[in-house]
A and B are shown apart, each in its own frame.
Chain A
Amino acid sequence: MNTQPQILTAENRATHWVFLGPFLILALVFIVLPMLFSVVLSVMVWDPIDGFAGIHYVSLENYRFMFQDKWFWVSLYNTIWLALISGLAQHSVAIPLAYAICRWLGRYQQAVAGLFFLPYITSTVAISILATALFSTDYGLINQAIAPILHVISGTDSSQPIQWLDSPQGIKPAIAIIVFWRFVGFNTILYMAAFQAIPKEIFEVSYVDGIGSFRRFLMVAVPMIFPAILFGLTMSIIGGLQLFEEPFILTNGKGGASHAAMTVAMYMYRTAFEFNDIGTASAMAWFNFLLIAIILTLLYAIAGKRLIKNLGAT
């Protein structure tokens, strides 16, 4: 009788490893190991054709090579441009949109939010293929739809159609529009959940104070969803700086005119699988990871204080 509790604890000690085992083993082999492997590769030169004998340690040579590569800087600029423009557009639309849906759409809330969310779950390939047709210069639907507007703006009868996919000026906005379309609904749903979680009393106080709708939105509602905004921005930064599929498919893997749509992730892929330079490609992957880490650290250093102040106030 006395020994029974001990047996139970001994059993428990092993049990949790049985339950955690499958996940931990898979995560170690397919997530952690590749990550560590990638650090090692970033300081090596390796031609895989020669097998493991072809590996040489080259210290930070790959990083130096990467920083001297003009196209790396171009791809970094493109990535940041796309992340910034599509990210800002997504959040500055999603926040007021979520607020308006919550406040004014009553029983249609779910249906409308559902439509905005739909692009998030669709195949990037199908959408990028469709976008290639929609954005085409001469007969694309988008140019045909906006032609009348362009006529009015330019004041002439025959304005040039926009070369969305064939010019360096057009390709970035085209991709930003697609990314915006895919992710604005996700952010809207996120912010709707946050607005709905605001206690009713807080709004009631603002009614008594008699402040206007717009000020109530900006001064009362938005500060209350600050944690959700921080989360949304985090997701946009991580996703945006890794942008790969949309520009890859739209530009047939090449980066488009003047490589204006080549992102770091795309350049990394090409460096590894087209130019067979696995070392430099791994250096790019790590640079990109560190960039994300630094930006997020800064974001939380600045916003974190605000967050704590906010939580303290409620």
Chain B
Amino acid sequence: MTPGHRKGYAQTVVGVIIALGALVMAMPFYFLAIFATHSRTEIFSLPPPIWIGDQFWFNLTALLQKLDYFSSAFLSFYVAVLSSVLTVFVSAMSGYAFVYLDFKFKRALFVFVLSLMMLPPFLGMIPTFIIMDGLHWLDEPRALYIPAAASAFGVFLIRQYAINSISRDIIEAARMDGASEWQIFVGIFFPLMMPALSILGLISFIASWNNFSGALVVLRSSSHFTIPLALRSLLSPVNTEWGVIMVGSFLVTLPLVLIYAVFSKKIISGLTATSLK
């Protein structure tokens, strides 16, 4: 009757619709987990499985027989950790320079960094292959983690956080006390920026862990495949072992969902930071 009453009714309806939408969004994750516990015939049956089956161990054993899943997983992890550590250091140093050092062409250089963010990565796909070939880096993990460290997004993110969290006065005071820029960077900037640096580290880790097209170009032989490439190699036009490939897909997704469950707020704030100028 009252406007407040009507608003409560509308609110419930909208809330239910949105909740259903969120459920639909989450459904693929549910089915990924469920399908990982079923055989191929069970996955493609009428009706399809909607609850946990008993084929998980069977699928997992078959997966480990078909693929050297652990060495792919280790490679993925190794590349992701190095990408994330290097990105954090390289971005932190540049971010520090852009906020606390004064130099010529600072504005122009920052515009350059911003414009790098807008560049479509596809433009570099073919020449990157040729350059990596020339460096003899094909099939080498460093062909992935070294270019990843040139993250314009990272520089932007660090600069943004630094401007808002560490005032120039603190840095000035340390300079007055005779500290060198390097000492200030390591002793003051790095510890105070830990929250932002850890966000950048997480985001870089996730991006590297999921990286498919970058790895596709530089990792050419199957013995050097990261998980995304190894998984795709299981897809066959004639005879795909669906239960097996679902376990593999489930295992590559699980760590991400767990990381996200704990750090979702941080990850979201980091990934959307570039939109808030």
Is B11 an interface residue when CB atoms closer than 8 A count as contact?
A: yes
Cβ contacts under 8 Å, A281 to chain B? 126
Contact at B235–A23, with CB atoms within 8 Å? no
Given contacts A33-B131, A185-B25, A265-B122, contact A130 B31 (CB under 8 A): yes
Given contacts A138-B44, A238-B118, contact A130 B249 (CB under 8 A): yes
Contact at B275–A129, with CB atoms within 8 Å? no
In the assembled complex, how far is the CB of residue B271 from the closest CB belonging to chain A, in whole angstroms?
7
Is B268 an interface residue when CB atoms closer than 8 A count as contact?
A: yes
Per the bound structure, the CA–CA distance linking A144 and B212 in Å amounts to: 31
Cβ contacts under 8 Å, B130 to chain A? 37, 41, 48, 278
Say which one of B14-22, B58-66, B164-172, B193-201 lies at the interface with A.
B14-22
Count, A-B residue pairs, CB within 8 A: 255
Cβ contacts under 8 Å, A140 to chain B? 44
Is B48 an interface residue when CB atoms closer than 8 A count as contact?
A: yes
Cβ contacts under 8 Å, B18 to chain A? 97, 100-101, 105, 112
Q: How many chain A residues touch the partner (CB < 8 A)?
A: 91
Interface of B is mostly: helix
Is A252 an interface residue when CB atoms closer than 8 A count as contact?
A: yes
Contacting residues of chain A (296-310) with chain B, CB-CB under 8 angstroms: none
Contact at B91–A23, with CB atoms within 8 Å? yes
Contact for B152 among A27, A184, A231, A252, CB less than 8 A:
A27
Residue of A nearest to B175 (CB): A8
Contact at A116–B22, with CB atoms within 8 Å? yes
Cβ contacts under 8 Å, B109 to chain A? 20
Given contacts A112-B22, A139-B48, contact A122 B97 (CB under 8 A): no
Is B221 an interface residue when CB atoms closer than 8 A count as contact?
A: no
Per the bound structure, the CA–CA distance linking A252 and B173 in Å amounts to: 60
In the assembled complex, how far is the CB of residue A242 from the closest CB belonging to chain B, in whole angstroms?
5
Residue of B nearest to A271 (CB): B126
Contact at B48–A289, with CB atoms within 8 Å? no
Cβ contacts under 8 Å, B161 to chain A? none
Contact for A134 among B11, B22, B28, B256, CB less than 8 A:
B28
Is B252 an interface residue when CB atoms closer than 8 A count as contact?
A: yes
Per the bound structure, the CA–CA distance linking A133 and B263 in Å amounts to: 30
Cβ contacts under 8 Å, A269 to chain B? 125
Cβ contacts under 8 Å, A275 to chain B? none
Q: How many chain B residues touch the partner (CB < 8 A)?
A: 88
Is B102 an interface residue when CB atoms closer than 8 A count as contact?
A: yes
Contact at B253–A126, with CB atoms within 8 Å? yes
Say which one of A11-19, A61-69, A149-157, A168-176 lies at the interface with B.
A11-19
Is A85 an interface residue when CB atoms closer than 8 A count as contact?
A: no
Contact at A31–B119, with CB atoms within 8 Å? yes
Cβ contacts under 8 Å, A37 to chain B? 127, 130-131
Contacting residues of chain A (106-154) with chain B, CB-CB under 8 angstroms: 108, 110, 112-127, 129-134, 136, 138-141, 144
Is B85 an interface residue when CB atoms closer than 8 A count as contact?
A: no
Cβ contacts under 8 Å, A32 to chain B? 116
Residue of A nearest to B231 (CB): A125
Is A190 an interface residue when CB atoms closer than 8 A count as contact?
A: yes
Is B90 an interface residue when CB atoms closer than 8 A count as contact?
A: yes
In the assembled complex, how far is the CB of residue A313 from the closest CB belonging to chain B, in whole angstroms?
19
Given contacts A118-B26, A123-B253, A126-B32, contact A19 B246 (CB under 8 A): no
Residue of B nearest to A118 (CB): B260
Per the bound structure, the CA–CA distance linking A136 and B240 in Å amounts to: 13
Is B150 an interface residue when CB atoms closer than 8 A count as contact?
A: yes
Contact at A125–B268, with CB atoms within 8 Å? no
Contact at B21–A97, with CB atoms within 8 Å? yes
Q: Report which A residues bind B (CB closer than 8 A).
A: 12-13, 15-16, 18-24, 26-27, 29-35, 37-38, 41, 48, 97, 100-101, 104-105, 108, 110, 112-127, 129-134, 136, 138-141, 144, 181, 184-186, 189-190, 193, 213, 228, 231-232, 238, 241-242, 244-245, 248-249, 252, 265, 268-269, 272-273, 278, 281-282, 285-286, 288-289, 292
List 6 A-B pairs, minimum CB-CB distance, nearest first: A26-B150, A34-B124, A139-B44, A34-B127, A126-B249, A19-B97
A–B Cβ pairs within 8 angstroms, 15 of them = A13-B103, A19-B94, A21-B93, A34-B123, A35-B127, A97-B18, A104-B14, A114-B260, A123-B256, A125-B228, A127-B28, A141-B48, A252-B235, A285-B123, A288-B123
